[in-house]
Amino acid sequence: MKLQVLLPAALLCGLMACQNNDTPAPAPDVVAANMDTTVKPGDDFFLYANGGWIKQHPIPDEETRWDIGQLVNEEIYKRVLSINEKAVADSNTGGVSKKLADFWLSAIDTVSIEQAGIQPLQSDLDKVNAITDVPSLLQLIAGWQVKGISPAFSQFIYQDSKNSEQMALYLYQGGLGLPNRDYYFNTDSTTTSKRNAYVKHVARMMELLGDDTTTAANNARTIMKLETRLAKVSRKLEALRDPYANYNKFAVTDIKRLAPSVDWKTWATNIGAGSVDSVIIGQPEFFRELETALTTVPIKDWKVYLRWNLINGSADYLSKPFVDQDFEFYAKTMRGAKKQRPRWKRVLDSEKGAMGELVGQLFVKEYFNETAKKRYSDMVEAIRSALKDRINKLEWMGDSTREKALHKLATMKKKVGYPDKWKDFSAMKIGRGPYVLNMQQANAWWHQYTVNKLGKPVDRTEWDMPPQEYNAYYNPSNNEIVLPAGIFTVPGYRDEQLDDAVVYGYAAASTIGHEITHGFDDEGRQFDANGNLVSWWTKEDEAKFNKRAQVMVNQFNGYVVVDTLRINGKATLGENIADLGGILLGWDAFRKTEQYKKGEKLAGYTPAQRYFLGYSLGWLGHARKELLANQLMTDVHSPAQYRVNGPMADVDAFYETFDIKPGDKLYRPDSLRVKIW
């Protein structure tokens, strides 16, 4: 999901409200300005649509990619910065302004942060030193999980996948410093070099904590050994997408079958969830191995591991040596950044995580009008209607499944722009003290916020993203699509300047249609209209769906992106299905518009051509090689170029619109094109 657009140099004066007596030059066409017409659309449609812009816009040193999302975020950053500056000016009035001002001033007070060094975390380090046995070890882990630091394993509270009316406590694999288990075992040169760099990074961070060089190196090896042990029993990225395999419900008293040395009732009490009587465990085999590690790994090694987890989870909020070393590995080595992003942007990112919806209340008052909200709300209904037509015409689906699919589609809820009811952040404790402690307090507030949901009716009005977020999502447990205001931000162009062809391409297709299709992808389709994980397909229809989906798995497995690294077709299947579905649904809806029916060219391109160019605009940009390598191993989304070229190669209307023929690189015989929805 994304929206767009570029900031042509000719527009800068208009955006900065310059005053002169000359009539301003018209804005360049939103899609034509980005194209590279030396590329054949049938060979690489992504570069045909976006290559001109890419050539003219190298990736800034402080970024790991430069794309439409970054351009949108540039505008959002400036808007949110203005909100914070106004909050500082109004902080004496208390309330929302004071909370924002305290957080902002705490985070940008680099003088105090440098003077404090590691001191704000000294009480946490003292608690590590006081550990003597497994019970005291687990007590500390529970206390840290409340504050947003999760050694050993992960826990969270969310709707019960099989009973969406109830909230449940989940236990999941975790505890790794590298992005996922494959980084510990893959033997290709790229991954091996990053794994070796990780051990050096951990050693350097341990030195910053006060270890001498030899001790730090030994401690880094200890940490790597323990993490590798946990990684060995961690599931792969694609395996984590199986909702049934990752749903294993245990009575709290029965978790001892997996890890008898842990008093799970006491652990639950220590995180504030002592009233729960059951827990959903994602990966039981992980907790069996955790039990073995707790009882065989020396306590002194666990204490070393905990010190690392504390500093690794806190580095961004500490003094410059910690921030710089954290950047050196996680941003530079892992993702290819050449220099750090400005501090004010990093602080705004942290603020969004801590209290994004609080900022969002002020954001939408100034930057999201009702006209835009109605345009995109109506567009959801156009896409819903398009999918209804497609489901009714599916030859491979039986009547029983079809009836339930139509009911799920009809009852799918939409949330556009911002929540009708805002969260109350008044109890979040934020002060002018250490930045890192404000982050701990914010995490503790969020933890308590979710704990308070246990035993209460599910609030289906809630949003999981703030309205200024440049993103969108489908929530299977609520059977809803959520479209924050930020996703419709278009820098350089007012909404009314954009023709329907472009908007249906990059908004209706790449966002709205994409999210609606998620309700019917390989994972989302397994949840019913009420949001419950339950089998509602006939076995015959399920087999037909899986056979068609496998065609897409095979297609994306064939794409080599970086060196020898390929897209993982199974891990990215849901997103790839949603991309294809979005294009098809957006196209169906667009063909009902007046612009399509009139067929008049704009900037030299037909409405049909502008629709596909508009979709491609949603993925405008390029990324560093290091980031792409990381994405291929950790992300369920394909790289942007393949989110255009991949699904386009399966769309018959694309072939007709751009006269794609055998011999063109994107051409796929009809028998190999993916046909699901």
| Structure confidence by residue, pLDDT tens digits, 590-610 | 999 999 999 999 999 999 999
pLDDT at position 26: 66
Can 9-60+369-423+462-672 and 134-298 be said to share one CATH topology? no
User: Which CATH number is associated with domain 9-60+369-423+462-672?
Assistant: 3.40.390.10
Give one DSSP letter per residue of 527-580, joined into a string: B-TTS-B---S-HHHHHHHHHHHHHHHHHHHT-EEETTEE--TTTTHHHHHHHH
β-strand pairing of 413-417 with 480-484: parallel
pLDDT at position 64: 96
Nearest to 144 by CA among 529, 399, 447, 410: 447
> For 272-294, how does the pLDDT look when each residue is reduced to its tens digit (9 = 90+)?
999 999 999 999 999 999 999 99
Yes or no: say if 653 and 632 are a contact pair by the CB < 8 Å rule: no
DSSP-assigned beta bridge partners for residue 169: 157
Which helix (H) or strand (E) segment holds residue 637: the answer is none
Give one DSSP letter per residue of 575-600, joined into a string: HHHHHHHHHHHHHHHHTTSHHHHH--
> What's the distance, Cα to Cα, between the start and end of the chain in Å?
19
**569 vs 553: CA distance, rounded Å:** 4
CB atoms within 10 A of CB 199: 15
Ramachandran category for residue 621: left, alpha or beta (phi over 0 → left; psi -120 to 50 → alpha): left
**291 vs 594: CA distance, rounded Å:** 64
**436 vs 326: CA distance, rounded Å:** 15
> Which residue ranges in the chain fall short of pLDDT 50?
1-24
Ramachandran category for residue 413: left, alpha or beta (phi over 0 → left; psi -120 to 50 → alpha): beta
Cβ neighbors of 91 (< 8 A, separation 6 or more) are 97, 98, 100, 101, 102
**Domain-wise residue ranges, the chain:** 9-60+369-423+462-672, 134-298
**85 vs 229: CA distance, rounded Å:** 47
pLDDT at position 429: 96
The CATH number for 134-298, chosen from 3.10.450.100, 3.40.50.1580, 1.10.1380.10, 1.10.3720.10, is 1.10.1380.10
DSSP letter, residue 664: B
**6 vs 70: CA distance, rounded Å:** 10
Yes or no: say if 537 and 401 are a contact pair by the CB < 8 Å rule: yes
The two structure tokens encoding residue 499 = 């023709």
Positive or negative, the CA dihedral 469, 472, 478, 480 is positive
Which helix (H) or strand (E) segment holds residue 502: the answer is helix 500-503
Task: Provide the total of helices (H) and of strands (E) in the chain, helices listed first.
Answer: 27, 11
The two structure tokens encoding residue 532 = 């419950």
The two structure tokens encoding residue 12 = 């800068």
CB atoms within 10 A of CB 593: 17
* Length in residues, the chain: 677
3-class state of residue 249 by DSSP: strand
Cβ neighbors of 625 (< 8 A, separation 6 or more) are 336, 562
Cβ neighbors of 33 (< 8 A, separation 6 or more) are 6, 8, 52, 53
Give one DSSP letter per residue of 335-358, joined into a string: H--SSPPPHHHHHHHHHHHHHHHH
